[in-house]
Amino acid sequence: MCTTCGCGNGAKALLHDLQSGEARPLDASREHAHDHHDHDHDHHHHDHEHDHASHEVMLEQRLLAKNDALAERNRAWFSGREILALNLMSAPGAGKTTLLERTIRDVGTEMAISVIEGDQATSHDGERIRAAGAASVQVNTGSGCHLDADMVAHGLDALRPAVGSVVMIENVGNLVCPALFDLGERAKLAILSVTEGDDKPLKYPHMFRASKIMILNKIDLLAHVDFDEKTAIANALRVNPQITVFSLSAQTGEGFDQWYDWLRREAARVQETAIQCC
């Protein structure tokens, strides 16, 4: 089992290809994928220098180096195919899947969207995405609390997204762990719903700090809840002065234009960058 995440040996990560209906455990192939990345660390020199003295071996390595290397590989894969990849993170129930369903229905014809769905169990969300008209694979992380770069790589193997398309990665509902793990995405998006607290950006600063966009969802409920939109936005900006906020309702569709404009712009940018670098 992957040592990057804390999901334990008993955790069974599963991948459901919702097009073919095939489900398979990720473990065996994941071990294999990791083999290629078992760095040799280049520490041999140090060993010799220190063997007879302090026996101290310098390692100087980021603890998440393995995940970071795999994430860079995903990033290069996306870039080579001019794919816009976005990592959607939120607490459970903030409306990630509903946001994607509406987005697929509204702009799915002008841009090809496919989805990697991360959940601890079930393929409910993957089925919802498929019903909305997009291809999706469901990664079940077992007891794991976040997606990692290797899970995404395997998801991409099954999904085979088209050149120039958009890949939405819906992370496991969790405001803590996903922020630490680079998946190779172009941008992270934090989704906050007005049924949560407006102080959430302060309570979970890593997630909002790592995100380029905050989507404030369920604004159709603002009149019914004790949530101050201005305070929430001010708190997000306090944690991350560069964050861009879109307030919308995935239920009613209010506020979606600015989100779609941003999506179109980012997709165009990915293609421009690809042209420039070749």
Partner 1 sequence: MHELGIARNIVSIASDAAKGRRVTRVTVEIGGLSGVMADAVAFCFDVVAEGTPLQGAKLDIREIEGRARCNACGAEFATPELFTACACGSSDTTRLSGEELSIKSMELEEAA
Interface residues toward partner 1, by CB under 8 A: 3-8, 38-39, 41, 43, 47, 51, 54-66, 145-146, 174, 176-177, 179-180, 202, 205-206, 209, 237-241
> Among residues 55 and 278, whose Cβ is nearest to partner 1?
55
Residues with Cβ < 8 Å from 231, sequence gap 6 or more?
198, 199
* Residue closer to partner 1 (CB basis): 118 or 161: 118
**Closer of 141 and 249 to partner 1 (Cβ):** 141
**Closest CB 264 distance from partner 1, rounded Å:** 29
**Which CB atom, from 57 or from 107, has the smaller least distance to partner 1?**
57
User: Between 56 and 272, whose beta carbon lies closer to partner 1?
Assistant: 56
Least distance between partner 1 and beta carbon 61 (Å): 5
- Contact of 181 with 69, CB cutoff 8 Å: no
Q: Which is nearer to partner 1, 121 or 176 (CB)?
A: 176
Of 128, 103, 129, 6, nearest to 63 by C-alpha is 6
5 neighbors 148 (Cβ within 8 angstroms): yes
Identity of the residue numbered 99 = L
Minimum CB–partner distance for residue 266 and partner 1 (Å): 24
Provide the token pair at 163.
């050149």
CB–CB of 69/36 below 8 Å? Answer: no
> Minimum distance from CB of 51 to partner 1 (Å)?
7
Shortest CB 180 distance to partner 1, Å: 5
Alpha-helical regions (H) of 108-189: 124-132, 149-159
Q: How far is the CB of 145 from partner 1 (least distance, A)?
A: 5
* 258 phi, psi to nearest 5 deg: -65, -35
Buried b (16+ CB within 10 A) or exposed e, 81-113: bbbbbbbbbbbeebbbbbbbbbbbeebbeebbb
CB of 50 to partner 1, least distance (A): 8
CA dihedral of 177, 180, 186, 192, whole degrees rounded to 10: 40
Residue with Cβ nearer partner 1 (47 or 272) = 47
Q: Which residue has the tokens 């120039």?
A: 164
Tell which residue, 171, 178, 177, 179, has the closest CA to residue 239: 179
Give CA–CA dist 275/45, Å, rounded: 42
